[in-house]
């Protein structure tokens, strides 16, 4: 009886190779969807390496900046809207581009 060769299943694109250099798209999508819903606790793993690691670092930094902006806007709502201190201005350090234009 002739044996049929066993073929390995193709690795899912959502799973990481053992070297950690493949993007886990399922995890990325989950984090993006949480962020879209306003969940700023969503983060990607810090231990990803290579290009996936750069994507994770960039994603996490963008969420952190958005979280900081939200806290600053909440502060402004309180001090200006509730306390009436109209001289208060929003401030968000270490930002550029539209982040700086919007709140600076």
pLDDT tens, residue by residue, 50-64: 999 999 999 999 999
Q: What is the pTM of this model?
A: 0.67
Task: Give the C-alpha distances (Å, rounded to integers) separating 36 from 19, 27, 29, 41, 63.
Answer: 30, 14, 10, 12, 10
pLDDT tens, residue by residue, 5-42: 444 333 334 444 334 568 899 999 999 999 999 999 99
SS3 category, 29 = helix
If you search the block for the tokens 């990481």, which residue do you land on?
16
């Amino acid at each position: 009886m002739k044996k049929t060769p066993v073929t390995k299943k193709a690795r899912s694109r959502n799973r990481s190779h053992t070297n950690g250099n493949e993007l886990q798209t399922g995890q990325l999508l989950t984090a993006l969807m949480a962020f879209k819903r306003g969940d700023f606790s969503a983060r990607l793993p810090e231990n990803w390496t290579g290009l996936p690691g750069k994507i994770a670092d960039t994603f996490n930094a963008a969420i952190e900046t958005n979280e900081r902006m939200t806290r600053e806007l909440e502060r402004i709502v309180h001090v200006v809207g509730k306390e009436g201190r109209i001289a208060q201005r929003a401030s968000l350090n270490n930002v550029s581009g539209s982040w700086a234009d919007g709140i600076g």
